[in-house]
Amino acid sequence: MVRFVMSSVVMLSMLASVSPARAQWDKVATALGKPGTEMPGEVYRVALPRTDLHVTVDNVDIKPGFALGGWIAFKSMGPSSMVMGDLVLTETEINPVMSKLFAGGLTVTAVHNHLLRAQPATFYMHIAGQGDPEKLAAAIRAALAESKTPLTAPAAAATQPAIDLDVAKLNDIMGARGNPNGGVLGYGIPRADPVTDAGMVVPPAMGTAIAINFQPVGGGRAAITGDFVLLADEVNPVLMSLRQHGIEITALHNHMLDDQPKTYYVHFWAVDDAVKLAEGLRAALDKVKRAKS
């Protein structure tokens, strides 16, 4: 009996230690109108894919998880929270959404393209804010109402669509394990050195990991896109390496304003044999200070 009572006390103590965070994130989900997922680094991340858009690039139908995957992520800072995000918008949505964000006390840190020749054109708005997480979520929801971004998640598929590529070979070349996401093979590769913003470490789940996506197009071929997260002295070695392997550079820009050390994001595109593309990407990755797996 004593043993049972002691274990119950321990269990209640454990529940008390986690329930405040869960309660906070439940409030965020309610205010935003869409639930998220607790991620490593004490991050609560909400996916905002533009499933309403039909976008093509070079006759490739872009899957939402390939290059249309908007998101917002919260990290607790004691009584308040930091929020960062990447909203996928059409050109007519940019300024109405931005005005609403300003009205809600958030900041915009970047607006740019990730793709070239996209039909229709898509743009990416990076946002940030600090304060009460429930109020921040409500402000973001009001801003998203100025766009057609869906807040209702589509019905989950019973199984993940097959990845028609040699995944084991790609994993071996990339030196990382890819994860399937709606017919897309995605890699998240963290940097070796931490990045801070406003004096707080920004975890990989908040956008500081290198993101590389493969979308099969048939016959062992794939389209690739994503972004390399780089320090200044890595930018041109990576650019040159990608170009030497026939991979197109589609953008070079910032995502944050006050990050330390300063980071730059290189976006890319190619359609070719998937193994050949992986070899080119690995050559570029070898120019980057990556975390050891």
103 close to 157: Cβ distance less than 8 angstroms = no
Q: Which pTM value belongs to this model?
A: 0.89
Structure confidence at residue 250 (pLDDT): 98
- Cα distance between residue 101 and residue 232, in whole Å: 30
- Cα distance between residue 125 and residue 131, in whole Å: 20
Structure confidence at residue 79 (pLDDT): 78
Structure confidence at residue 115 (pLDDT): 97
- Number of other CB atoms surrounding residue 138 within 10 Å: 18
Ranges of the chain with pLDDT below 70: 1-20, 153-158, 293
Of the candidates 77, 83, 10, the residue with the CA atom closest to the CA atom of residue 46 = 83
> What CA–CA distances, in Å, run from 62 to 21, 119, 182, 228?
36, 10, 11, 20
First to last CA, the chain: 45
Structure confidence at residue 13 (pLDDT): 47
Structure confidence at residue 154 (pLDDT): 66
